[in-house]
Amino acid sequence: MLLYSDILKIIQDKERISTNEAVMEQHSRGMTYHTGRLPDIVVFPVSEEEVAAIVKYAAEKKIAIVPFGAGSSLEGHVIPVKGGISLDFTLLNNIVSVHPEDFIVKVQPGVTRKQLNLQLKKHGLFFPIDPGADATIGGMAATNASGTNAVAYGTMKQNVLGLRTVLASGEVIMAGGETVKSSAGYNLKDLFVGSEGTLGIFTEIVLKLSGIPEATIAAKAYFTDVVAAGAAAEMVLQAGVRIGKIELVDSRTIEAVNHYRGTTFLEKPTLFLEYSGSPEEVEHGISNIKQLMESAGCLEFVYERDSLKRAELWEARHSAAIAIVNRKPNQMLVSTDVCVPISELSSAISYARDVIDKYSIEAALLGHVGDGNFHAAFGVNPNDEDEMTRFYQMNDEIVEYALSHRGTCSGEHGVGMGKVKYLKKERGNSLEVMRSIKRVLDPDNILNPGKIFAD
């Protein structure tokens, strides 16, 4: 009760402090299979001042503090492995200011992607980073999220301009600013983006915006196998086509989506593509893409101009993970995440399918193949020792292949708890430099402990 009473002095609102069992259970895990752990208390701040005061208190008492957004992380980022305070940003969700003439918006960390784009639409602007889930902007910045638009718009690192950040001491700093470039001093902004809440806690984020395209065409191309689809994706990118989205979904994923949503998509490996620009650009671009797909051996190429039909097409892609897990009751989601250079993509996908089959795992392959990033998604029973052993062995082999072919253990999901051992192998001696930065900014290891590094 001491922790509760101390926090109450800071927050001064019982409605925004909880030790309720259901609330703490909600904040004990993310979306996936990682073993959860209850926090000691959940706090809902409504201002930067409250966040700074809570962090300062946690620093004085050496209590762990874990930021929590939408809870949609995939590698256990929000799990309070050492208990302590789960800091929920649900109520810190205001759009602070929009500067349409500068293509800039300032938001609080609890603002969600869909909430933001709904408000930006009237200005003819949108925020392009789309990880699939309606994640919070704070969480997306913390994990350097990307998603379906990354091939055209990059990741969060390219779209975050500035961050107001509370350090482990409770001090607030501004990293970056409101200009699209700067050569003034160290680039602290990019240090914090992707740091997974281990170096600081965001209270305000400045984002770069993009104009809503005048015209868009979405298409799908069917192939005989995943390797052919991957090779076709490589061909589009190597041809220099200014593609907006290019996503791969294999036949098992399509089958699961059809079962889950009642759709009738052809159950073949499929590339989902999107091209945007002026009406003239779009017509010319989609014609080029069609020729490339046909030369790559696609079985069928169809496209949609209607916005509702385009949305239906992409909804199938976005509901893939849920559809896969839905096939087995009482399963927890697994979504692996590796990224390789474009030239290695088709061979990496082929290898992944062989490994998945070798370990008799019913998984689907899908991903943002426009930037070499792909996933194996499936459901597991964390209490089934044999199934978990096969999953870990499968994951090891897919990651090892990526690392040995100039790739990375995570293209977008982050390290969290699940990729700690792979990060050590991938980064080698530079991991100690990361540790040194962590020790300087968070000497008592109170900010999201147990993530990125093995404590």
pLDDT tens digit sequence for 425-455: 999 999 999 999 999 999 999 999 999 998 7
Rounded-to-integer distance, Cα 29 and Cα 74, Å: 10
Does 328 score more than 80 pLDDT? Answer: no
Report the amino acid identity of residue 380.
Answer: V
CA dihedral 135, 362, 414, 416 (to 10 degrees): 100
pLDDT tens digit sequence for 178-189: 999 999 999 999
CATH of 2-88 given 3.40.50.880, 3.40.50.300, 3.30.420.40, 3.30.43.10: 3.30.43.10
Report the pLDDT averaged over residues 40-65. Answer: 98
Rounded-to-integer distance, Cα 438 and Cα 195, Å: 10
Report the pLDDT averaged over residues 59-88. Answer: 96
pLDDT tens digit sequence for 360-412: 998 888 878 888 999 998 999 999 999 999 999 999 999 999 999 999 999 99
Sorted by sequence, the CB contacts under 8 Å of residue 257 that are 6+ apart come out as 249, 263, 265, 316, 319, 320, 323
Q: Are strands 201-208 and 160-166 parallel, antiparallel or unpaired?
A: antiparallel
Give the residue ranges of DSSP H helices in 44-112.
Answer: 48-61
- Return the pLDDT at 274: 93
Relative orientation angle of helices 385-404 and 420-427, to the nearest 10 degrees: 20
Does 271 score more than 70 pLDDT? Answer: yes
Q: What is the mean pLDDT of the chain?
A: 93
Relative orientation angle of helices 345-358 and 226-238, to the nearest 10 degrees: 160
Instruction: Return the CATH number of the domain spanning residue range 95-211.
Output: 3.30.465.10
- Return the pLDDT at 1: 58
Q: Which helix (H) or strand (E) holds 301?
A: strand 300-304
- Return the pLDDT at 241: 85
pTM score = 0.94
Least confident of 29-38, 93-102, 338-347, 362-371: 362-371
Report the amino acid identity of residue 287.
Answer: S
> What class is the 214-414 domain?
alpha beta
- Return the pLDDT at 231: 87
- What is the location of CATH 3.30.43.10 in the chain? 2-88
**Structure tokens, 73:** 């992380």
Report the pLDDT averaged over residues 403-425. Answer: 95
- What is the location of CATH 3.30.465.10 in the chain? 95-211
Q: What is the band of 53 on the pLDDT scale with cuts at 50, 70, 90?
A: very high
Report whether 291 contacts 208 (CB < 8 A).
Answer: no
Q: What is the band of 111 on the pLDDT scale with cuts at 50, 70, 90?
A: very high
Least confident of 110-124, 166-180, 225-239, 388-402: 225-239
Report the pLDDT averaged over residues 194-208. Answer: 98
Report the pLDDT averaged over residues 21-32. Answer: 94
Report whether 339 contacts 373 (CB < 8 A).
Answer: yes
Rounded-to-integer distance, Cα 209 and Cα 309, Å: 25
- What is the location of CATH 3.40.462.10 in the chain? 214-414
Q: What is the band of 195 on the pLDDT scale with cuts at 50, 70, 90?
A: very high
